[in-house]
Each structure stands twice: as structure tokens, then as C-alpha cells.
Amino acid sequence: MKTTLFSLLGILLLAACQTIEERDALGTILAPSDLKIAIVQNPAGSNKVVLQNKTPGTIMFFDYGTGTTHRAIDTIYIPFAGKYTLKYTAFCDGGTVSDSTTFTIASNDNAFFDKDPAWKGLTNGGSGQTWVWAVDHPSGFIAGNGPEDCTFPAWWTMTADQYWGTKNDEVYIDLVGAANFQHKNGDGSVTKGFFNVIAPFVINGNKFSGIETLGGPKFPWPDTGKYHITKNNANELTIHEYGAYNVALYKRKGFKY
């Protein structure tokens, strides 16, 4: 009886080992040249881009720089003109394989940027604008605080001479290929990043454009990274800490009062 039992256990163990070791072989890994995708823009250069995986038996992940998608067919939207690199990775039986290609957006989508005046107002219509401290502002101040809707300090005030930082800092903003934002420090070092338009700040029934900076750069002061704008024309810019009293005055580089 014991012999029979041990024999049965031996057969079961052998079968179990064979089940583990005799697995189906993995499929071959595709070569990058085997990956087939389609990038459809109608018309050519359109801000709306359709990405299609045309490689049978794979799951495709697309990385277009500002986002990712893994649908077999997906439509993405990019409002900025420029040449973009599309990276794509296919998951197949044998593993993963990646490749890349490029596509072009012919022009900025004005309909998108016209939704809020901050997009073009801060960037000279998108082509780029440099803002510096308004050291010659008629009020004599460059910063301070006051009501959330004020266009220059009304309570505590700060002259250029009283400012504890460097007065030759610059902020450069454009819409060339992305919503670019950079802060050039007085020592010449530059912090580069991006900006985004956020929900307006609303007070007394009035709306003021809101923005946030991304990736590190900020207006020299206030330095929260989130702001609302109470004045913005071709030559002047008044920035508040978003929803708060702190305020700073800037002007277009080269402009004189």
C-alpha cells in the first residue's frame, strides 16, 4: 500500500514538473520596422491628429510629448504650431519594441487662445514677450499690496530701491511650440518651464485672467506660481498673487513711461 502511494506521488510530482517546464515558447519580438502606424491630419498640418495602430496582434502606447494614449485609434489635440516627435511602443507576444517618427502642426489654433486674453496678452500675440520690473512706473512703486482688483499698490508699497531682490530679472513668455515661460535671473542664470491659463479670479462681478507657472520658473514677486492679472496691455502688466493682495508691476522690456 505504501509502495503504491509513493509511486502515485512520484507520478504526480513528475507531471507537475513537466507542466511548469514545458510552457509554450514566447513569440518573437518584432523589429521596429515591423511596427505600422498611421498619423492622420485632415487637412495636413491640422491641430487635430488621429493616431492609429496598424500592427496586428499588438497593444500600442503613443507618447506625443504632452501626453500618452494606448487606444488602437485615438484623436489628440495640440494647439501649438511646431514639429513634434511621436514615440510609440508595441506590446507583443515576445515583449516590447519601440520606435519614433515626427509630425507637424502648421499653426497655432487662434480659436483656442482667444478663449482667454492672457494667452496672447502675455506673449505678444504668441510670438514672445519679455517683461521686466516697471522701475519707472509713475506711482514710484514696483510692488506692495492692495485690493485684489487694484492695478498698483494701494496699502503697503515698495519702491525699486526697497526691493530686496535684483531689479534686472526678466520674464520671457511665448507660444512657440508650447506655452513657454522662463525666468532670467540677475546673475544670468535661466529657469525654463511652462505656463497654463487657469480659472479666472472673480471679484465684485469682474473676472481677471488666472495663470500658473509650471516646471520651476516664476515671476520674481509674488512667487507663488499662481497669479491673477489686473492689467495687461502691450506695455504694462500688473500681477497679483492669485486671489490675494500681493501685487507687482512689470512692463515690456524697452518701454519707458
DSSP line for 194-247: EEEEEEEEEETTEEEEEEEEESS---SSS-SSEEEEEEESSSEEEEEETTSSEE
Q: Where are the domains of the chain?
A: 32-105, 111-252
Cα atoms in the Cβ-side hemisphere of radius 13 Å centred on 116: 17
Contact residues for 178 (Cβ-Cβ < 8 A; gap 6+): 66, 80, 82, 194
Q: What does the block give as the cell for 35? A: 511596427
> What's the predicted TM-score (pTM) here?
0.79
Q: Is the dihedral of CA 159, 162, 168, 174 positive or negative?
A: negative
pLDDT by 10s per residue, the chain, length 257 = 433 433 433 333 333 333 333 334 556 778 999 999 999 999 999 999 999 999 998 999 999 887 788 888 999 999 999 999 999 999 988 788 999 999 999 999 999 999 999 999 999 999 999 999 999 999 999 999 999 999 999 999 999 999 988 889 999 999 998 999 999 998 889 999 999 999 999 999 999 999 999 999 999 999 999 999 999 999 999 999 999 999 999 999 999 99
Domain 32-105 fold is: Immunoglobulin-like (2.60.40)
